[in-house]
A and B are shown apart, each in its own frame.
Chain A
Amino acid sequence: MLKNITLGQYFPGDSFIHRLDPRTKLLATVALIAIVFVAQGFSGFLLIAAFVLACAISTGIHLKFLVRGLKPIMFIIIFTFVLNLFFQTEGKELVHWGFIRITDQGLRMASFMAVRLILLVVSSQLLTLTTSPIALTDGLEALFRPLEVIHFPAHEIAMMMSIALRFIPTLMDEADKIMKAQKARGANFETGNLIQRAKAMVPLLVPLFVGAFRRAEDLALAMDARCYRGGAGRTRMKQLKFGTIDVIAAVVMALLLAGVIALNRLNLF
């Protein structure tokens, strides 16, 4: 059950996208999200979808992981689809059945929203699938560094994020272990009503919290022992550097944006 979470999972590789500077990837993802909102028709979406698909294939990651990542938000996608379908009443009527009225405009709007959501999720997933958590937080820290002028704690937040990301697999492992141990003592996590299930979580959560605090203390001690004292004056072993491929990526993103705007103007479909 705990092993099926792909959202935020990193797949090592050596593709063009894998080799991009994490800052480029972060900015490109933000740009891609913006471009998805810029698109006003399905022709634009088609172009973006083709681009995202090409990117996904180039990374060498099996497409089923992108699809699997959609599962957790499938409910939201269906919910917005249904909502848009039933509450958009303008346009030509397609179905009229009791109080249910479906119009062509409603159908168009609903599909538009669903496709937009899917594109948003898939493109942000492409970022987390191809960027190691460490690179991701390094990139974020570098991007937020200018805000330190207004006392935004960029380093501290990046450090907190990388520690949190670092310990997610560890805690998942530990949760799995404790769960097995309690199951071996006859605990039942699967059946029963809501209250029974909530109660059944106590033997899992208490050891998990105790373990998390123990780890936090150990980590703090280890950081202290190596003279960690925050971000001021800290240098890095791996410096982030923009290269030719980052320029290529920027050009590609600009072309994509231009393409989508052009398609908006043409207003094909």
Chain B
Amino acid sequence: MPIEVKKLTHVYMPGTPFEARALNEVSLSIRDGEFIGIIGHTGSGKSTLISHLNGLEHSEPGTVFVNGVDLGGKGTDLIAIRRVVGLVFQYPEYQLFEETVARDVAFGPTNLGLDGEEIQRRVETALKQVGLNPAEVSEKSPFELSGGQKRRVAIAGVLAMQPAILILDEPAAGLDPAGRREMFELIRGIHDSGVTVVMVSHSMDDVGRLCNRLFVLNRGEIAYSGTPEEVFVHENKLHAIGLDVPECAKLARRLREAGFDIPEGIYRTEDVCAAIVGNLSGEGDAKC
């Protein structure tokens, strides 16, 4: 289910003094099985962009195609698109509303018109996928869970629709370091199960570690795109638009500038570590 975005422009409140251009001729494509990172400063258009990807927003001119279907076209079945493209908003725990966790997770599948048994099965699978024990939490009220658990339930609510593409807007926002780690492990697991993942973040460390391709948004336009190596080369320019590169990429650059033999474009902790050890022992393949 590839996604193709062509010259997408979005203007908020056109014709008023509050007019704001959130996206300006953005084009990008996402292939099956990718783990995409969308990075940008606050207000760069990240959230608007992902709302377009499953037809929650649409605007002229510009088009979004999911699996070849034009989302702006007349007669396009948006419900069918939304079962394929799952979208988890920022702070998704604030959308929980049902009396029990199981019923909240079942909201999506129920809207898809599935039968009771299938819904039941999906709810259990989804809860397990996010690392919750269905037997333990199913009958609890979502409001008595902890913050991190609530967020997992909300993500399960989207996973229960079994999307082929999962889009997450800042999934780790507001979580403590341990919670962040767990959340990213969880998302990595979802990606490993064959789901295409698009993750919005402003943390370069996180997207660098997880994603195979990045899109950097600045003022509604794509400033840089490519693999993390290709993007992190532009350290100074990224700084200029309020972004950063992973800490290890900075360390690598400074060592290289100081005359050490560190290859360009490395940013993963393991790679940088190996390069340093290689310099110390004179062997390129030394272990950290």
Give A residues with C-beta under 8 Å from B.
3, 11-12, 65, 174, 177-178, 180-188, 202-203, 206-207, 210-211
Minimum Cβ distance to chain B for residue A48 (Å): 27
Cα(A178)–Cα(B89), bound, Å: 9
A88 nearest CB across to chain B (Å) = 40
Is the pair A186, B111 in contact by a Cβ cutoff of 8 Å? yes
Q: Tell me, rounded to whole Å, the shortest Cβ–Cβ distance linking B183 to chain A.
A: 18
Q: How far is the CA of A211 from the CA of B83 in the complex (A)?
A: 27
The answer to whether A180 touches B157 (Cβ under 8 A) is: no
B94's contact among A183, A185, A202, A207, by CB below 8 Å, is which? A207
Alpha-carbon distance A184/B112, docked complex (angstroms): 11
Residues of B within 8 A of A178 (CB): 94-95
| Cβ contact within 8 Å between A186 and B161 | yes
Contact with A along B77-107 (1 / 0, CB 8 A): 0010011001101001011110000000001
Q: Tell me the bound Cα distance from A11 to B82 in angstroms.
A: 37
Instruction: Take A3-B13, A203-B107 as given contacts and tell me if A184 and B82 are in contact as well, using a CB distance cutoff of 8 Å.
Output: yes
Q: Which of A174, A181, A206, A207 has the most CB of B within 10 A?
A: A181
Is the beta-carbon distance between B79 and A185 smaller than 8 angstroms? no
CA gap between A188 and B13 in the complex, in Å: 24
List of A residues within 8 angstroms of B97 by Cβ: 202-203, 206-207, 210
The distance in angstroms between the C-alpha atoms of A202 and B94, with both chains bound, is 14
Minimum-distance CB pairs A-B, first 10: A186-B111, A206-B97, A185-B108, A184-B87, A181-B95, A181-B89, A203-B97, A180-B56, A207-B97, A207-B95
Q: In the complex, are the beta carbons of B79 and A180 less than 8 A apart? A: no
Closest to A11 in B: B17
Known: A206-B97, A207-B97. 17 other contacts (CB 8 A): A11-B17, A178-B94, A178-B95, A180-B89, A181-B89, A181-B92, A181-B95, A182-B95, A184-B54, A185-B108, A185-B111, A186-B79, A186-B108, A188-B79, A202-B97, A210-B94, A210-B143
Which chain B residue has the least Cβ–Cβ distance from A186? B111
Q: Quick one: closest A residue to B96, CB to CB?
A: A207
CB within 8 Å of A: which B190-229 residues:
none
Which of chain B's residues have a CB closer than 8 A to the CB of A183?
56, 82
Q: Pick the contact of B51: A180, A185, A186, A206 (CB < 8 A).
A: A180
Q: How far is the CB of B177 from chain A (nearest CB, A)?
A: 24
27 example contacts (A-B, Cβ-Cβ < 8 A) are as follows: A3-B13, A11-B17, A12-B17, A178-B94, A180-B51, A180-B56, A181-B89, A181-B95, A183-B56, A183-B82, A184-B56, A184-B82, A184-B86, A184-B158, A185-B107, A185-B108, A185-B111, A186-B79, A186-B108, A186-B161, A187-B107, A188-B79, A188-B111, A203-B95, A203-B107, A210-B94, A211-B94
Chain B residue at minimum C-beta to C-beta distance from A64: B15
Question: Which residue of A has the minimal Cβ distance to B95?
Answer: A181
Q: Are B158 and A185 interface neighbours, CB within 8 A?
A: yes
Residues of chain B contacted by A188 (CB below 8 angstroms): 79, 111
Shortest beta-carbon distance from B260 to chain A in Å: 48
